[in-house]
A and B are shown apart, each in its own frame.
Chain A
Amino acid sequence: MSLTTSTLSPENAVFRHVIPAGEPYLFEVKAGQTLRLLDLEGNQAVDTLFYSASNPRERYDAQRTLRRQNKVYLSTGTVLYSNVGNPLLTIVADTCGRHDTLGGACAQESNTVRYALGKRYMHSCRDNFLCACLNDGRMNKRDISANINFFMNVPVTPEGGLTFEDGLSAPGKYVELRAEMDVIVLISNCPQLNNPCNGWNPTPAEVLVWN
């Protein structure tokens, strides 16, 4: 695992926004701009989906992205491909080293399966995704596909097991992506309290954009 730092300086960012713990955020990044996702306090899963701004039916495709890089973890150099085969964004810097795209997003319904029927009424990422999509109006439930969990560590074993390990992230770790086309970015700053994906303590995350 190799880490890549960025030379971009936060004071030169054209846009900055702190997403409080547990909240959704939907915004756009233009082709050529660089997006940084910053784990402010450490071990915060940032559940993220990307869509083509000109046609939101074109969206991030986890299986194609993994297949084309022939590797299960995302890091510097990973090209995020769309469901029609175009590059959406490229990861250009990463001080965390490993990001997950197999674990998906938490949901009321999956919480009932994973933990207990009584967990249905806890807040979740897919509720955040739906809320942001339906308020925006360009996407709906059918557009919510398998997402990226930035800063999450979900190792796959040679025997085919899937494990959830303590995060590799820490306060100030970040990942940077260069947009290859105009994209809609849909984030749920994960509110999960039932497993260690947020270190049992969901915290804020920041987005920064440079021209």
Chain B
Amino acid sequence: MTSENLELQAALYREAVPGGGHTSFILKRGQVLRITDVEGGANVSVMLLNAHQPSERLNLPDTLKGQHTFRLTAGQCLYSDMGRVLAAIVTDTCGWHDSVGGLLNAEEVHKKYGAGRYQELRNGFFRNGVDNMLVEIGKWNLDLHDLLMVLNLFSKVTVDAEGGFHFVPGNSRPGDYVELYAPMDTLVVMTALQHPMDPAPAYAPRPVELAWSQAQSEGIASACRNSRPENARAFHNTERLYI
């Protein structure tokens, strides 16, 4: 599902994140973050937290059960454990983002891809999602306590009748993008690494581009707010922060 963006808005800032890179920043209330899969086949693991009280964070079970969904796409909201909207998925050209794959740790990456040390590979060394996230949340004085379930953007994992998982290659094409609108100040933590269930045998994380813009009105999120009554109530809870 793609919602047409009729507003003319210049990006406030752009940044390229190389494959394997990690970063974090506060997406301010009213801002939109566009994440673009530059080459196709990217995966971006994402954590979202309340920038002012980070014990409030993305709760994927609440997000999934509140919207009766396993896949995430445009029109949906990413809920915190406190019943608020940390981000709304206002645009998505890709159609399916994964909620289940999580992150690999150093041991799992070594088992999957073999050895890839800095000593030999310099900045091409084999990074892993758990360490990348720990490093990044550590910069905000957070720790292992705070590392919960993550979202994996641009990746698709389906479930068959028996409950088995199937990673679907080719879900995201070059230029596909997703836009997150923040109705509150949201700490975004991310790393661009292959999806843990991606069967490709070689370590080859893809780059993404980030672009920040200011929403011209909160109408940009109206499709998300109105897509189901749960989301309207979650937006209401979010707006209570600012009364």
A interface, by DSSP: helix, strand, loop or mixed? loop
Q: Which has the most chain B C-beta neighbours within 10 Å: A64, A117, A142, A160?
A: A160
B105 and A73 within 8 A (CB): no
B104 to chain A, nearest CB (A): 9
B165 and A70 within 8 A (CB): yes
Stretch at the interface among A10-18, A19-27, A106-114, A174-182: A106-114
B165 and A66 within 8 A (CB): yes
Interface residues of A in 60-76 (CB under 8 A from B): 61-64, 66-67, 70-73
Q: Which has the most chain B C-beta neighbours within 10 Å: A103, A110, A144, A161?
A: A110
B102 and A126 within 8 A (CB): no
Closest residue of B by beta carbon distance from A147 = B61
Chain B residues positioned under 8 Å from A64 (CB to CB): 102
B49 to chain A, nearest CB (A): 11
Chain A residues positioned under 8 Å from B107 (CB to CB): 85
Q: In whole angstroms, what is the CA distance A63 to B130 when docked?
A: 12
Closest residue of A by beta carbon distance from B105 = A85
B81 and A84 within 8 A (CB): no
B68 and A163 within 8 A (CB): yes
Contact-size category for A: 35 or more
Q: In whole angstroms, what is the CA distance A71 to B65 when docked?
A: 18
CB of A137 closer than 8 Å to a CB of B: no
Chain A residues positioned under 8 Å from B197 (CB to CB): 67, 70
Interface residues of B in 219-243 (CB under 8 A from A): 230, 233-234, 236-237
The answer to whether A63 and B145 touch (CB under 8 A), given A85-B107, A104-B62, A113-B66, is no
Interface residues of A (CB under 8 A from B): 57, 61-64, 66-67, 70-73, 83-85, 98, 102-105, 107, 109-110, 112-114, 116-117, 126, 140-147, 154, 156-164
